[in-house]
């Protein structure tokens, strides 16, 4: 078996779906993927995530539970990642594609920095993530929705910034805080009542932990603090010094176990 050779003007390139369309192998992208018969609720979903602006940068957090419909599928999912040295991404939605999107995003930022010799601006990084979400829209329309939060320290403006997104790739800068996921509404309500402008990083961390605990108390898809298994929420900070994830021992001290 040999690979087909195309003239330059007929080469379908790396787009697999264009090749299918060219030879009428599938009527549409959804049918070729077989997604029309899938129940998206049966895939693992991650919730809840949040980001809070502080005087020194931002605090990003998330619970650890993943669900499949009304079942707990996984108790210690990672939902907060370092996008690069000075930014973080937190994922809500279908877990598998979301984690893969994070990996690709990390590679793109690293590749740009190596090729250009400078770090992409925070605004540019946020725009790039929006473009990735827009490209994911066909799958999102099938129920495989990814809705991340992106936050980081803007080295040019010397402050923390937070960006939220919709499924179409629309990017929206948040001024003080943002939440997402099934417990996002409860977490947002708690933060709204307790947020103080220019709060310290330590106070921001405590507020994030309290908001996630409030969300877990109201939303069954949000995991709380699991003392038996020693599973705690993920909390990270991004300041001028870079991304830093809190250790479980540090979180234990803050929640006064």
Q: Which helix (H) or strand (E) holds 234?
A: strand 234-239
CB 80 within 8 A of CB 61: yes
Distances from the Cα of 133 to the Cαs of 147, 164, 246, in angstroms?
Answer: 8, 12, 28
Is 47 part of the annotated catalytic residue set?
yes
Beta strands in the chain (DSSP E): 45-46, 49-53, 57-62, 66-68, 71-74, 80-84, 87-90, 93-94, 149-154, 159-165, 171-174, 177-180, 234-239, 242-245
Place of tokens 């895939």: 43
For residues 101, 240, 195 and 171, what is the CA-based torsion angle, rounded to 10 degrees? -40
Catalytic residue among 47, 48, 54, 237: 47
- Annotated catalytic residues are 47
């Amino acid at each position: 078996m040999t690979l087909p050779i195309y003239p330059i003007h007929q080469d379908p390139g790396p787009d697999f779906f264009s090749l299918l369309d060219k030879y009428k192998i599938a009527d549409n992208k959804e049918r070729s993927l077989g997604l029309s018969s899938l129940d998206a609720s049966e895939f693992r979903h991650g919730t809840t995530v949040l980001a809070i602006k502080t005087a020194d940068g931002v605090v990003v957090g998330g619970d650890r539970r993943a669900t499949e419909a009304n079942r707990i599928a996984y108790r210690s999912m990672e939902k907060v990642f370092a996008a690069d040295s000075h930014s973080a991404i937190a994922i809500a939605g279908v877990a598998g594609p979301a984690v893969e999107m994070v990996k690709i995003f990390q590679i793109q930022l690293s590749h740009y920095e190596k090729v250009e010799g400078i770090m992409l601006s925070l605004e540019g990084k946020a725009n790039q993530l929006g473009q990735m979400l827009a490209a994911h829209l066909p799958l999102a329309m099938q129920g495989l929705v990814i809705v991340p939060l992106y936050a980081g320290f803007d080295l040019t403006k010397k402050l923390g910034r937070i960006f939220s997104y919709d499924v179409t790739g629309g990017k929206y800068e948040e001024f003080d805080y943002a939440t997402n996921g099934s417990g996002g509404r409860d977490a947002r309500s708690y933060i709204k009542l307790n947020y103080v402008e220019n709060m310290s990083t330590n106070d921001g961390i405590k507020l994030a932990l309290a908001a996630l605990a409030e969300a877990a108390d109201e939303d069954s898809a949000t995991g709380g603090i699991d003392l038996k298994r020693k599973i705690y929420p993920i909390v990270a900070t991004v300041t001028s010094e870079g991304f830093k994830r809190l250790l479980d021992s540090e979180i234990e001290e803050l929640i006064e176990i």
